[in-house]
Amino acid sequence: MPTRLRKARRLRGSRTFGYGQVGQHRKSGGRGGKGKAGLLKHKWSWTIKYEPDHFGRDKPKPPNRTIAKKWTNVGNLDEIYDGLLKNRKIKKKEGKALIDLVGLGYDRLLGEGMISSPYYVIANSYTKSAKDKIEKAGGSIVSK
């Protein structure tokens, strides 16, 4: 808007600039309070739109949940075995190559993919399909 059309220019010389009594446009009453005042009341719609996490309530969480931060799939066991073979860190247990996923930093073994060799796998937790695929290949899995 051009400066010459602004209210401050048009009403120069007026005491109240069109707001009625002097106190009607003087302090913070015209904007519903100072700062964060009224966020639970008359500024609630503003709170919902622009700052929905202002009051910081978390969603309820199950009491005993465990979050797997690092996981791998059954299909990656061959690659993990090849990496151990390259570094000459292969051990055997029950006649099968031992893969210690806990020692490698994995929290969980998932069941995607297929394996070609029987492995003896140590894992913190695993899915039912992962266990089935390892046993189908002739291997075994134990939880630590």
Confidence of residue 84 (pLDDT cuts 50, 70, 90): confident
Dist. CA 35–CA 28, nearest whole Å: 9
Host H or E run for residue 8: helix 7-10
CATH 3.100.10.10 assigned to 71-143: yes
Q: Do 139 and 118 meet the contact criterion of CB atoms below 8 Å apart?
A: yes
* 127 confidence band (pLDDT: 50, 70, 90): very high
Domain ranges of the chain: 71-143
pLDDT in the model for residue 49: 94
pLDDT higher than 90, residue 46 = yes
The pLDDT of residue 119 is above 90:
yes
The pLDDT value recorded for residue 58 is 79
Evaluated on CA atoms 74, 76, 82, 84, the torsion sign reads negative
Question: CB of 39 within 8 A of CB of 54?
Answer: yes
**pLDDT tens by residue, 13-45:** 999 889 899 888 888 888 899 999 999 999 999
* 10 token code pair: 């048009």
